[in-house]
Amino acid sequence: MTQKRITSKDIEIAFLINNLEGVKDLFEGNKTPGKKVINAAVESLTSNGLEVSNLAAYNMSLYPSNGKGRGKQQPTIGEERTYSVQKVKNSAPFIRLPLSTLNVKRGALVSVQFEDGQIVVS
């Protein structure tokens, strides 16, 4: 089963039908939309005179602000992370891996060992 892309209009409709429970039901089994999509639904519903504080609070629980700016922070030594596998057209699957903990600069050479079931970058 493929996941459905959820738009702000989908969130608005789900909220109008069954309030916050409708939105939660919409997200179930689908990819949770980004913060901007939910904010757009909140703004639209608010501009139409609806009380949406519970939806705004739910958005904040999904995307808490850490006060550190955009995106994920650089990994720290000893931290473990999970990365989504990407694929572009006919290419092999890959991940984008930050190398800040290796203290390398652009253009530097990095050693990559392909072992049984793991890849070691140093």
Residue 80 lies in a domain: no
94 is a domain residue: no
- Residue 115 forms part of a structural domain: no
Q: Does 104 reside within a domain?
A: no
Q: Would residue 122 count as lying in a domain?
A: no
Domain membership of residue 19 (yes or no) is yes
Reading the chain (122 residues) residue by residue, the pLDDT tens digits are 567 789 999 999 999 999 999 999 998 888 888 889 999 999 999 999 999 999 998 888 888 766 566 667 777 777 787 888 888 888 888 888 888 788 888 888 999 899 998 888 88
38 is a domain residue: yes
What's the domain range around 49? 8-62
Which pLDDT does position 69 carry in this prediction? 60
Please state the domain count of the chain: 1
Angle, to 10 degrees, between the axis of helix 8-27 and the axis of helix 35-47? 120
pLDDT value of position 68 = 61
Q: Judge whether 45 lies within some domain.
A: yes
